[in-house]
Structure 1
């Protein structure tokens, strides 16, 4: 599967407009007020060019006096003050509405991102999602200072100024209208190229974020395998990809500027020629021509600003479409469904699965797990145990077949994450309504109550990055206690007690027993002693289930599990003998 096809969806223009319109609900009265204020303030700003034209005609006719100058000055000062106040109010109100709507969209984006089916995120790459919730949100927010004035005051200025020009002398309006197709052609050219370039730039940013994230997550592996230079080249290549598309975007902006300069020159020349012809024919006056030129000059600035802001707007819209693409992912997207009989918690029926375009890891895999049963999965490395856990948890979707599991299913792996915050916040992530009594009871049940005595502020201790450090065993205790508080119907432990060394193995195993008590459990066992305590053991080999039964049944059968158990017993006996000899020697 290609990266493009695996990426999270991008909303179409129609979908984006529909979602923005929906988000504007409750703010439309203020948006209407913005429109009224914008029209009034820009209409006031048309007064100076007209009054200057009036003054020019009075001066040429010799009828201007001190009173005329005072009247013109007062009108210009008054219109400037009113126009500035109206413009400021329009921008402030528009900005507040804009950021309120953006805040609502941001909240929806984060909320939907946190509930996306994990298989969608895994397939697209977490870098894509991170880029949409960071780079794209920033791009839309940063567009406000330029986009808001252009889409409010500037747009109104263009409309009102054109109306004033037509009311003053319609030939001037016609002359300017003849040049407008130049701007239309410029916009058509830009809209054909700009969105594609900015969309590619955003996609390149997602790819870069993915490379950086993978390097950070796999830091220990990178160092251990000597992959520093390889990862450096991968990040560098992704960064150059962003640089290339950014340079192309800037080049498009420069070419846009050149075309606008040509349109500006053509507009002024056309109006000047028309003014000369009209004055020569004694159809217009110098004052009217002056007012027309001032109105055109007043128009050119907003028109250029509006065209330029389209550059920022395209970048913002590219990001907005990516944000809304996540928000509008259907809740049921990709979620598997199947029917099960009463008393069956998990059912895999004819499941086939592969990673990307690789070979099938599972083919026609069938498995039922009765409600309340604790099932262990064992097998050699690469047998498909972790993949099976991920398929049952819904992280990976089957290529064929169906998977049914309880609505409340929780998966814990060996890679436990401690979030920045208090210990209480970390423990109650899956049970936000749990009180301190519930937290203490869960800690007691998992044997982790002693952890509080080691922390300076008990449940209020800040843990995670920059906080009080936790050992691997303590982090796994935290994860198991968190699961117990979440109280899922199905608990999947994928080597969730595989803390390095054996010092805390017994403590973690007892914690796992407490978590699985009274609920359906699936244990990916890394120690056969864990499997032996389960109600049922499933043995996997090369993606197939080759044995299934209780511990005693499988040992008595003398099959693959029986051989594994014998080897495990022999190894444990040898280790105990070595420990005893060491202790006698020390004694």
Structure 2
């Protein structure tokens, strides 16, 4: 990345990630259906045939009525009609069941592909975008919304499959029988269209509001869980309880609103059903009176309409579930529509980022950089800093000086408000909050280097002073650690994280108080591990202990978001400035 390039990204709208519109949702579903379209065509063909077979009983009953009225029906006629109806019922049911099974399998295959894309995109989103939109919103989309779409399958697919094919076949059958019957039904269909149009306006709004309320509730619960110690320490339990309770009631109210919309739809469907039956009865009476239709023909028409009205009403009723699923689907695909940042990001190595290439000979260059969180006061103010290749720079300062923010901007986690940031193509970040993933030690270490051999892993552990750790683990590299696994101390977890960086072999390592959680007994060992990690590459160290800063090539002192001192250990101590005072206090306190 050149000097003119800036680490920027497109912020999502306030209140969460974007929601994909209908066109974007349809385009993504169509793309995901690639490779399954022949199956979908086969499902459609099988559904039409099965539905046509399923309508044979209505025709058979109509013919039987005419034979009875003519006095030509006998036991053979009744048995034949009964056998035909039984056979068609069996074949139609079997065909419909097979259609639903094939459709459901294809649906879940496509949904699985979408879920994989969603998780993949979520894991590569820049951290500042996730923080801006809210972690709870992202979790809700990858959990609640995925569940809503998956759970809709048993309710939607059977009804949708049967209804669409039944409408097509029934209208064709009515037209073939006597076109006035089809015309009578067609006249009433606008009632359903009006009901659907009304619901299309009211339904999505209700369900989007319900899903948004769920996201807000998820955010409140997540913040309460993550900040559990803070909540207890400051006596905020009751306040957090009220916040969760308030958002939960908001979910309940939005859910009641959605159910009210559903009830209003049911009333409109009942009206449409009444008008459909009345229209066909009146037309049948007129046609029979004029001799243009028989009683059997009218009976067949009524049975076809009755056969149609059931699935049609079910379709519009399940449209409630369908709308909810589509709202969730749009929210899921909305995450995929978040534009990539102008520079790529890498997979995490306890927080790894990748960016463009810096100026030759310079690992990092910051020029006139400013940064603030959500348009608040400046946390970084006019920062200009160069970090040469293979140079190790320590950043020190009081709490709140902007050290961690500087590290995040250099790593590409946060884009600057103004100014330019240039960095190498592979940057690894370790913070003091080191995460141990649930899995084996080997799996934890090869996250950053999938091709690493056991020999590479042991060499990295040895370099970070963690070789003895394997001897204490029951199954060596195959020992399961993390949640539910073998417990590790804070120092051991930090050793694993440092070994992971060695295996990743970045051009720039950013250590943000990476060993701050270590006790005094482990401090020297972890300091040596840090030096091993920094060897041969550029390094930025947010120093918790000044002994770490003293071992670096250069020290930068920050205060109120600005760099106030910069130089080597000896230069700063001799200058008698802020760092000299910090060093004197550190030496006397050891």
Shorter-normalised TM range: over 0.9
Determine the structure 2 residue equivalent to 1:488.
506
Distance 1:121 1:36, change over 3 A: same
Q: 1:407, 1:253 → 2: CA distance?
A: 53
Contact 2:546–2:583 (Cα < 8 Å) also in 1: yes
Show CA shifts across 1:62-120 (max 9, x none): 11112211221121112112211211121111111111111111111111211111221
Using the size of structure 2 for normalisation, the TM-score is: 0.94
Q: 1:168 aligned to 177, 182, 192, which one? A: 177
Determine the structure 1 residue equivalent to 2:439.
421
Q: 1:401 aligned to 416, 419, 425, which one? A: 419
What SS is found at the alignment partner of 1:369? Answer: strand
- Pairing 1:314–2:302 present: no
What SS is found at the alignment partner of 1:363? Answer: strand
What SS is found at the alignment partner of 1:365? Answer: strand
Q: 1:162, 1:217 → 2: CA distance?
A: 58
Contact 2:11–2:129 (Cα < 8 Å) also in 1: no
Determine the structure 1 residue equivalent to 2:583.
565
Q: 1:455 aligned to 473, 477, 498, which one? A: 473
| Distance apart, 1:6 and its partner CA | 5.3
Contact 1:198–1:315 (Cα < 8 Å) also in 2: yes
Q: 1:128, 1:152 → 2: CA distance?
A: 32
Show CA shifts across 1:150-187 (max 9, x none): 33222011110011011112111111111111100100
| Distance apart, 1:219 and its partner CA | 1.5
- Pairing 1:347–2:356 present: no
Contact 1:499–1:505 (Cα < 8 Å) also in 2: no
Q: 1:135, 1:373 → 2: CA distance?
A: 47
- Pairing 1:228–2:237 present: yes
Q: 2:490, 2:467 → 1: CA distance?
A: 16
Contact 2:369–2:419 (Cα < 8 Å) also in 1: yes
What SS is found at the alignment partner of 1:503? Answer: helix
Q: How does 1:206-285 map to 2 (within 5 A)?
A: 206-285=215-294
Q: 1:371 aligned to 373, 380, 389, which one? A: 389
What SS is found at the alignment partner of 1:329? Answer: coil
Q: What do you get for the CA RMSD once the two structures are aligned?
A: 1.8
Q: 2:297 aligned to 283, 288, 300, which one? A: 288
Determine the structure 2 residue equivalent to 1:438.
456
Contact 1:334–1:397 (Cα < 8 Å) also in 2: no
Show CA shifts across 1:286-336 (max 9, x none): 111111111110010111111122211111111111211223434445769
Distance 1:226 1:548, change over 3 A: same
- Pairing 1:77–2:105 present: no
Contact 1:207–1:238 (Cα < 8 Å) also in 2: yes
How many residues align? The count is 572
Contact 2:357–2:423 (Cα < 8 Å) also in 1: no
Determine the structure 2 residue equivalent to 1:584.
none
What SS is found at the alignment partner of 1:491? Answer: strand
Q: 2:437, 2:245 → 1: CA distance?
A: 30
Q: 1:414, 1:244 → 2: CA distance?
A: 42
Determine the structure 2 residue equivalent to 1:150.
159
- Pairing 1:183–2:210 present: no
Determine the structure 2 residue equivalent to 1:141.
150
Which of the pair has the greater relative contact order for Cα pairs under 8 Å at 6+ separation? 2
- Pairing 1:539–2:548 present: no
- Pairing 1:387–2:396 present: no
Q: 1:95, 1:484 → 2: CA distance?
A: 46
Q: Unpaired segments of 5 or more residues in structure 2?
A: 1-9, 346-354
Contact 2:367–2:385 (Cα < 8 Å) also in 1: yes
Distance 1:500 1:8, change over 3 A: same
Distance 1:94 1:48, change over 3 A: same
Contact 2:356–2:424 (Cα < 8 Å) also in 1: no
Determine the structure 2 residue equivalent to 1:131.
140
Q: 2:11, 2:117 → 1: CA distance?
A: 28
Determine the structure 2 residue equivalent to 1:92.
101
Q: 1:395, 1:239 → 2: CA distance?
A: 32
| Distance apart, 1:377 and its partner CA | 0.3
Deviation >6 Å, runs of 4+: 336-339
- Pairing 1:39–2:57 present: no
Determine the structure 2 residue equivalent to 1:524.
542
